[in-house]
Amino acid sequence: MEKDRIEIITNRFSDVRVLVLGDIMLDRYLWGEVERISPEAPVPIVSVTRETANLGGAANVAANVAALGGKSLLLGVVGDDPFAEQFKTVMEQNGLYETELVIDPRRPTTVKSRIVAGSQQVVRIDREITDEISPEITARFLATVERELPNLDSIIISDYGKGVITYQLLSGLISMANKAGKFIAVDPKEVHFKNYRNVSVITPNHHEAGFISGKRITSDKILEQVGWLLLDELNLESLLITRGEKGMTLFEKDRTRTDIPVEAKTVFDVTGAGDTVIASLTVAKSAGANMREAAFIANVAAGLAVARFGTARITRNELIEALNNRK
């Protein structure tokens, strides 16, 4: 991309408004050091020195949108518990003030607690219920989407399989958004793949794409087969398959395929990289980029994200610098 084109697109980031709907999580980190093995069992004893908390899941997607300078409206479900209050605090610390968090007393706030010794994760503890949300919560979300649609540029569906993204919610939301001509991006979960029909783009990794198509992607030929199969079967406008160290491949409805080489110089932690991809892709597309430009920008953003520990957010200025300094 030419520098003037990068400037035109990134200057429009602040005008973009994105609705993010999906499974929200609180990422907790307990940091410490290991000095000995427990006498009770053959496990390390971690002496915790500090605790931190971060946004995960759909909340991390919304935070990525905000870090890029866009405006995000976050919709999700929390429990009636102290972790919900901690989540709200962390959300405000990350500049997310426009939200609709439904409290469901039947389920806990989804929390991923990671114990880290030095820079090595020792264990992760998950606190969650993955039952589908009630019809009443579904109706509430759809009413919010219908109300906000005129003021939105795009919608991101962030599906982590924790119960928020249901068939009823997807079908109602996709129908409304398509009628309004809104860009719809989906970060998919394998079990719901067949329900993501008629959207603008889905962003599976190569394992997910291979699994749902019944083909293990071990060659370029199989990648090609899987890409066009999913694009046609789901009636997508585009499909972006992320391929780890091989970069990304974009398939578009006009039968154009674009391979984008990997941007990461150092891979330290891939946690949340998919969130960075879909957020930067959607913001760029909503700011006037075509799909190839948006995928290129998302690839650069992901390269920055995986060089950091934990769920990282890339700011607009960091992204611009990386885009302009590419060799």
22 Rama sector, left if φ>0, alpha if ψ -120 to 50, beta otherwise: left
| 138: nearest Cα among 202, 76, 62 | 76
**Would you please indicate which residues are annotated as catalytic (active-site) residues?**
275
For the chain, the distance separating the N- and C-terminal CA atoms, rounded to the nearest angstrom, is 12
Q: Are 294 and 272 in contact (CB under 8 A)?
A: no
Q: Are 239 and 256 in contact (CB under 8 A)?
A: no
Task: Tell me how far the alpha carbon of residue 322 is from its chain's centroid.
Answer: 21
Q: Greatest CA separation found in the chain? A: 64
Provide DSSP, 126-177: EE---PPPPHHHHHHHHHHHHHHGGG-SEEEEE--SSSS--HHHHHHHHHHH
